[in-house]
Amino acid sequence: MSFLGYPRPDGSVGVRNYVGVISTVGCANDVAHWIAQQIKGTAPFLHQAGCGQLRSDLEIATHTLAAIGQNPNLAGVLLVSLGCEGTDINRVEREIAATGRPVKKVVIQKAGATVALNEGLLIAQALVSEASQIRLQEFDDSHLVVGVKCGGSDTTSGLSSNPAVGAVCDIVVDNGGTCIFGETTEFLGAEHILARRAVNKEVADKIFKIVDAMEKRAKASGGDMRGGNPSAGNIAGGLTTIEEKSLGAIVKGGTRPIQDVYNYGERVRGRGLFIVDSPGREPEFLTALAAAGAQVALFSTGLGVPQGFPFIPVIKVTGNPVTFQRLPDHIDMLVEMAAGKGSGLKASGERIHREVLAVASGKQTKAEILGYGNFPGLYTLGPII
């Protein structure tokens, strides 16, 4: 199977062809927002990170922004800098430029926001003109990089939409492509099952390590991730143990071997199934998928969520027919309640996989058409200082 995409100089394939207008610190968001509002063909990446953070968090912000700028869906990048931010903007610029993409920058503290805006508008316009000359080509689906996520979960998630999305992951991986999942908090209680699927002991150890580190961070803040899990609400919904709850979530990653575990904000290298260490919260997690290099995201939901992402099509799949009817402006696909089993599962996986290829080839998702998803987040571990 194949899809239409945009060839990039680094060998990756975009399924969208935006110029990214990336703010390098919270204080530069307004100018980046203004530019992206005015210039068609741009997509903003706004966030609150890059200043008043511990060194470790500034490192996360720096490498995440650099990876965001390398996402295959971006043809070029305009960085909007304040000037005194804690992120290493030179490194961000250098690492994006190393992929062969055009990357430019405007700095607000040089002559003020209005001057930066004027410069930025002209630069963005020129970058879009350049991007628009890249022609779509047909690629076999080994070039596909799909990120998967679940959120707004209900009983149907673990029974239908998550297994169905997992079946898509298996198809993508079997066709030579890449699938990325994460949400480390949801591995809790089932990390031993994921670790068994790791390609080697080193990768298995990384899976235990990220779950352990996540629990320790929660403990350091007075939280207990394991106690009271599953919650009273989970138990009322039919979930008996923490293993069962977590399995219902991780089933969305499919069943193939886990090739490696990456840190938040890192670009995934290689093909197959990968884990990105990340929180489950949507704005931060979708950013992790974008940084990892996902071209398309598959979002399994029960109650229904609106979230999209500025330059990645996010396909919403639900197993809850009430949600599908109630939220026609957000949910792209309904899978059967019994989608999670045997032949039904395979058929659902194949149907969603065809939709992934259609969306990759240009079909707009509900979130894209609605313009929902302009407020992503960037993960921080430590305090704001």
Partner 1 sequence: MELKERAIVLNEEDNVATALADLEAGSSVELDAGGRRLTVKVAARIPFGHKFSLAHIAPGEVVIKYGEVIGKATADINAGDYVHVHNVVSTRGSMGAEGGA
Contact stretch for partner 1 (CB under 8 A) within 39-47, 245-253, 324-332, 368-376: 245-253
Strand order through the sheet with 296-301: 258-262, 272-276, 178-181, 145-151, 296-301, 314-318, 333-334
Q: Is 342 in the site for partner 1 (CB under 8 A)?
A: yes
DSSP calls for 198-240:
BSSHHHHHHHHHHHHHHHHHHHHTT--SSTT-S-HHHHHTT--
The sign of the dihedral angle between the CA atoms of 148, 152, 158, 159 is negative
Contact pick of 52, 109, 175, 244 for partner 1 (by CB under 8 A): 244
Q: In whole angstroms, how far apart are CA 14 and each of 10, 272, 366?
A: 11, 18, 19
Q: Please say which residue, 130 or 212, places its beta carbon nearer to partner 1.
A: 212
Q: How far is the CB of 191 from partner 1 (least distance, A)?
A: 9
Q: Please say which residue, 328 or 342, places its beta carbon nearer to partner 1.
A: 342
Contact stretch for partner 1 (CB under 8 A) within 140-148, 267-275, 332-340, 367-375: 332-340
Q: Is 219 in the site for partner 1 (CB under 8 A)?
A: yes
Contact stretch for partner 1 (CB under 8 A) within 77-85, 176-184, 238-246, 280-288: 238-246
Contact characters 181-210, partner 1, x per CB under 8 A? --------xx-xx-x------------x--
Q: How far is the CB of 259 from partner 1 (least distance, A)?
A: 20
Contact pick of 30, 59, 243, 350 for partner 1 (by CB under 8 A): 243
Q: How far is the CB of 273 from partner 1 (least distance, A)?
A: 17
Partner residues linked to 79 by β-bridges = 22, 105
Contact 80, 24 (CB under 8 A): yes
Angle formed by the axes of helices 342-360 and 162-174, nearest 10°: 70
Q: Is 240 in the site for partner 1 (CB under 8 A)?
A: yes
Where residue 296 falls (left for φ over 0; alpha for ψ -120 to 50; beta otherwise) is beta
Q: Is 159 in the site for partner 1 (CB under 8 A)?
A: yes
Q: Which of 27, 116, 112 is nearest to 78 (CA)?
A: 116
| CA-angle at 127, arms to 126 and 129, nearest 5° | 65
Q: Please say which residue, 189 or 373, places its beta carbon nearer to partner 1.
A: 189
Q: Is 272 in the site for partner 1 (CB under 8 A)?
A: no
Contact stretch for partner 1 (CB under 8 A) within 1-9, 43-51, 92-100, 234-242: 234-242
CA-to-CA distance for 303 and 233, rounded, in angstroms?
15
Partner residues linked to 179 by β-bridges = 146, 273
Q: How far is the CB of 196 from partner 1 (least distance, A)?
A: 9
- Cβ neighbours around 375 below 10 Å, total: 13
Contact pick of 151, 152, 177, 248 for partner 1 (by CB under 8 A): 248
Q: Kindly determine how many residues on this chain lie close enough to bind partner 1 according to the rule CB under 8 A.
A: 32
Contact pick of 69, 177, 310, 340 for partner 1 (by CB under 8 A): 340
As given in the structure block, the two tokens for residue 95 are: 């690492």
Binding site for partner 1 (CB under 8 A): 155, 159, 163, 189-190, 192-193, 195, 208, 212, 215-216, 219, 226, 229, 235, 237-238, 240-244, 247-248, 251, 337-338, 340-343
